[in-house]
Amino acid sequence: MSNLSESGGQKGTSTKKGCVLIVDDEARHAESLATLVESWGYEVATASDGAKAAGLLVTRRFDLVLLDLHMPVADGFRVMEFVRKRSLHTRIITISGDPSLDDAINSLKKGADHFIRKPVTPVELLKAIDESLRKQVKDEKLNRVKKKTEIQSTLHRMMFDVAPNIQFLLDTKGKFRMVNSVFTKVTGYPKEKILGQHWSSLVESDQVDRIHHVFEERRSSPDRFPEVELRLRCYDRPDGQNEVKSKSILVALQSKRLYSRSGEKKVFFGTYGVARDITQYNKLEELNKYQEFHDNLTGLPNRVLFDDYLNFALTQAKQEAGMLCLLNIVVVDLKQVNEAYGHSVGDSYLQNMATRLKKLIRKGDILARVDGSEFVVLLSHIKQEKSAIHISEKIRAGLSKSLLVNGQNLSPQLSIGSSVYPKDAESNEELLRFAQSNHGINLQSKQRHLMQSSNWIKLIKKQS
């Protein structure tokens, strides 16, 4: 490793193990430390007093400073104060020949990682450098995570504001803390008029008691409230120039209680709500909307709606550092059932399968049909991976029982794949793709599936 002078000029090549600044007014001691530290694979620069050290610290980045406390011009304590005021990301190890404990106590109070008394021993110095640089790496990781979190928070706020539906956030007292632009457009309320108002001020008086539980209940269970309809009052401008013509609107509302963790305890911090303006919808439009997001055969959410559910669950899991799991369930023998008994029996087979699946999953889980023979289950509130395995085993056992379909006793042949966030993937497409390709929980191997399906068809034809 090459040595760097007080001017910061470099001789030779440098490595990437770390950069250390040695500040000591004793030239022989500084050179001795520089040679020792260089031999351990670090890039080294030296300064003979605090003022010169400050000049180097503002012109380049150092991972660590080995700082003598007693020097002319500016002592080590002034250098530490300089580093603190400039918020420089560098660790400090202080060195002193003073036999008293004052230097050690004062330097550690001012933020030094370690204090070493002269004469410095290589073993003690190497240990201190290693520990300080480990702290430096840890701090840098925390800063990156913090910056990433801030960016994600900004993006979430942007997504919140440009969402196509009414969205709002209530505080712990039920008062509006955030509303998006659609909220203000549909209700006519400017943000300055609605923020800080209690939710009941916008709901028609005859409906307050009916939906009180939607906003006020404090259960911490993962159960999702069903969609409820209610009327919201619109803003009546004093000048009569209200852009919203009607005095109230009918909305379909879903809400969720939000909790943060304080140790082992969940702490309620607000209610998140999403609402759709359904004032102008007639029954046909509602049916079309339903069919757009649901499977016609089973009535389950389709791929489009499931993606929305999964996006929301992923956002929550990322914010709460939680887990979620996808189960991909393939009806392996659907083609054989269609060929043997006809598509009407095959359709009834899938409908019966969907009905049984609904009974096997937990109340808060999401079940959808994403393809002809494929179902997916979203387990959005699991604390450990073995819980997902337990649930999938329960589903496997429940679905393996025979089904009576149009007079035919059918034994389902299924394959179940799974994926877990964040272990297996971090986006909705990657999670689904991983689950589709990771069918490790099989009732039978693929080869055995094919063999039994073939024998089963032959037996049916022979009996008929």
The residue among 252, 280, 308 that closes a domain is 280
Residue 70 domain-assigned (yes or no): yes
Q: Residue 151: what pLDDT?
A: 60
Same domain, 203 and 301: no
Q: What's the rounded Cα separation, in Å, for the pair 423 and 401?
A: 32
Across the beta sheet with 19-23, the strand order is 3-4, 43-47, 19-23, 64-68, 91-96, 114-117
Q: Alpha helix locations (H) across 60-121?
A: 76-86, 102-109
Residue 286 domain-assigned (yes or no): no
Using a 10 angstrom Cβ sphere, with 0-12 exposed, 13-18 middle and 19 or more buried, the burial of residue 431 is buried
* CB 92 within 8 Å of CB 100: no
Q: How many domains does the chain have?
A: 3
pLDDT above 50 (res 70): yes
Q: Residue 111: what pLDDT?
A: 87
pLDDT above 80 (res 216): no
CA nearest to 229, candidates 175, 279, 192: 279
E strands, 134-279, where? 166-170, 176-179, 228-233, 248-262, 265-277
The residue among 235, 256, 280 that closes a domain is 280
Same domain, 313 and 462: yes
Residue 153 domain-assigned (yes or no): no
Same domain, 301 and 433: yes
Residue 150 domain-assigned (yes or no): no
DSSP secondary structure of 124-154: HHHHHHHHHHHHHHHHHHHHHHHHHHHHHHH
Same domain, 412 and 368: yes
Residue 43 domain-assigned (yes or no): yes
pLDDT tens profile 436-451: 888 754 433 333 333 3
| Two tokens, residue 97 | 């020949």
Same domain, 462 and 313: yes
Q: Residue 176: what pLDDT?
A: 92
Residue 152 domain-assigned (yes or no): no
What band does 150 get if pLDDT is binned at 50, 70 and 90? low
Q: Residue 440: what pLDDT?
A: 57
Q: Residue 21: what pLDDT?
A: 94
Q: Residue 153: what pLDDT?
A: 61
Residue 102 domain-assigned (yes or no): yes
**CA 249 to chain CA mean position, Å:** 34
The domain that holds 320 is classified in CATH as 3.30.70.270
Angle (deg, nearest 10), helices 102-109 and 76-86 = 10
Same domain, 201 and 307: no
Q: Mean pLDDT, to the nearest integer, of 305-326?
A: 89
* CB 339 within 8 Å of CB 458: no
The residue among 83, 107, 141 that closes a domain is 141
Q: What is the pTM of this model?
A: 0.38
pLDDT above 80 (res 2): no
Domain that includes residue 424, residue range: 294-464
What's 454's DSSP letter? H
What band does 222 get if pLDDT is binned at 50, 70 and 90? low
The domain that holds 202 is classified in CATH as 3.30.450.20
Percent of all residues in the chain with a pLDDT value above 90, rounded to a whole number? 22
Same domain, 194 and 329: no
Same domain, 303 and 449: yes
Dmax over CA atoms of the chain, in Å, equals 105
Q: What's the rounded Cα separation, in Å, for the pair 360 and 140?
A: 46
Which one-letter amino acid corresponds to residue 144?
Answer: R
pLDDT above 50 (res 353): yes
Whole-angstrom CA distances from 69 to 89, 132, 191, 344 are 20, 18, 56, 88
Same domain, 119 and 96: yes
Q: What is the distance in angstroms between the CA of the first residue and the CA of the last residue of the chain?
A: 86
Same domain, 169 and 237: yes
Residue 151 domain-assigned (yes or no): no
The domain that holds 89 is classified in CATH as 3.40.50.2300
Contacts of 3 (CB under 8 A, 6+ apart): 11, 34, 38, 44, 45, 46
Same domain, 28 and 124: yes
Same domain, 178 and 112: no
